[in-house]
Amino acid sequence: MFCSYACNSAEHSITRRGFLQGLTAGAAGVAGFSGMVGPGAAAELTSSQKHVVVFYLAGGVSQLETWDPKPGTDTGGPFDQIQTSAPGIDISELLPHTAQQMHHLSVIRSINHKEGDHGKGDYIMQTGRRQEPGFVYPYLGSAMAKQLSPADSPLPGYIHVGGGGGKAEAAFLGPKYAPLGLADGGGPANLNRHAALTEVTDLKRRELRNKLSQRFATGRRQAETEVYNQSYDQAAKLMSKKDIFDFKRMTDLDLERYGKHEFGRHCLMARNLIESGVTFVKVNHTNYDTHSENFNFHLEQLGEFDRPFAAFVSDMAARSMLDNVLIIVMSEFGRTPRINPLAGRDHWGNAWSICLGGAGIKRGVAVGKTNANGTAVTDREVDGGHLFHTYYRAVGLDPTKNFYDNQRPVAKADPKASAITEILS
Partner 1 sequence: MRLTQISSTCCFGMLVCFLAAQGWTDNPAGEAPGLTFAKRDAQRASEAAQASTNLVADAAAKLQVAEKAIADATAAKGITEKTVADALAALQAAETAKTAADKVSADAATNAQKVKDDAAADQAAKDKAQQDATTAQTTAAAAAEVLKTRQAEKITADANQVNTVKALELAQVALKPAQGAKTEAEKNLAPIAAIAKSAQEKAAFYATTPPVATPEAVRLIQTFTHTRPFQSCRIDPTGDFVFGGCQDNTIQRWDLVLAKQVPLPGHRSWVADFAFQPGTNLLLSAAYEGKLLWWEAPLVTPTTVRTVAAHKGQVRSIACSPDGQFVASAGNDKVVRIWRTTDGALLKELAGHNSHIYHVAFHPNGKHLVTGELLGIMKQWEVASWQHVRDFDAKPLHKYDPTFHADCGGIRGLAFSPDGRFLAAGGIGEVTNAFAGIGKPTVLIFDWLTGQRVHLLNPKSNFQGSVWALQFHPTQDFLIGAGGGGSGGLWFWNAETGTALFDFPLPAAAYDMSLHPDGLRLALACYDNTLKIYDLGPKPPAAVPPK
Determine the residue type at 296. Answer: N
Please state the closest distance from residue 291 (CB atom) to partner 1, in A. Answer: 5
Nearer to partner 1, 78 or 186 (CB): 78
Q: Which residues pair with 280 in a beta bridge?
A: 52, 158
Q: Which residues pair with 328 in a beta bridge?
A: 54, 356
Q: Are 287 and 293 in contact (CB under 8 A)?
A: no
Cα–Cα distances (Å) from 278 to 241, 311, 321, 325, in that order, read: 11, 19, 13, 11
In the three-class reduction of DSSP (H, G, I as helix; E, B as strand; rest coil), residue 116 is classed as coil
Strands 180-182 and 369-370 turn out to be unpaired
Residues whose CB is less than 8 angstroms from the CB of residue 43 and which lie 6 or more positions away in sequence, other chains included: 27, 29
Nearer to partner 1, 298 or 393 (CB): 298
Please state the closest distance from residue 119 (CB atom) to partner 1, in A. Answer: 16
Nearer to partner 1, 12 or 335 (CB): 335
Strand order in the sheet with 51-58: 180-182, 158-161, 280-286, 51-58, 325-330, 352-358, 105-111, 366-367
In the three-class reduction of DSSP (H, G, I as helix; E, B as strand; rest coil), residue 391 is classed as helix
Strands 180-182 and 158-161 turn out to be parallel
Please state the closest distance from residue 125 (CB atom) to partner 1, in A. Answer: 20
Nearer to partner 1, 293 or 323 (CB): 293
In the three-class reduction of DSSP (H, G, I as helix; E, B as strand; rest coil), residue 173 is classed as helix
Q: What is the DSSP letter of 389?
A: H
Please state the closest distance from residue 347 (CB atom) to partner 1, in A. Answer: 12
Q: What is the DSSP letter of 20?
A: H
| CA-angle at 214, arms to 212 and 219, nearest 5° | 115
Nearer to partner 1, 9 or 301 (CB): 301
Please state the closest distance from residue 312 (CB atom) to partner 1, in A. Answer: 19
> Which residues of this protein are in contact with partner 1, per CB under 8 A?
59, 71-72, 74, 78-80, 286-287, 289-293, 296-297, 299-301, 339, 341-344
Rg (CA), the chain: 22
Nearer to partner 1, 74 or 256 (CB): 74
Please state the closest distance from residue 290 (CB atom) to partner 1, in A. Answer: 6
Q: Are 351 and 335 in contact (CB under 8 A)?
A: no
DSSP string spanning 239-298? HHTGGGG-GGG--HHHHHHH-SSHHHHHHHHHHHHHHHT-SEEEEEEE----SS-HHHHH
Which among 293, 296, 304, 280 has a CA at the least distance from the CA of 57? 304
Nearer to partner 1, 93 or 323 (CB): 93
Nearer to partner 1, 299 or 424 (CB): 299
Please state the closest distance from residue 300 (CB atom) to partner 1, in A. Answer: 6
What is the spatial distance between Cα 288 and Cα 345, in angstroms, rounded to a whole number? 10
Please state the closest distance from residue 45 (CB atom) to partner 1, in A. Answer: 37
Nearer to partner 1, 375 or 390 (CB): 375
Please state the closest distance from residue 198 (CB atom) to partner 1, in A. Answer: 42
Strands 366-367 and 352-358 turn out to be unpaired
Please state the closest distance from residue 96 (CB atom) to partner 1, in A. Answer: 10
Q: Are 216 and 2 in contact (CB under 8 A)?
A: no
Determine the residue type at 39. Answer: P
Nearer to partner 1, 32 or 374 (CB): 374
Please state the closest distance from residue 373 (CB atom) to partner 1, in A. Answer: 12
Nearer to partner 1, 78 or 119 (CB): 78
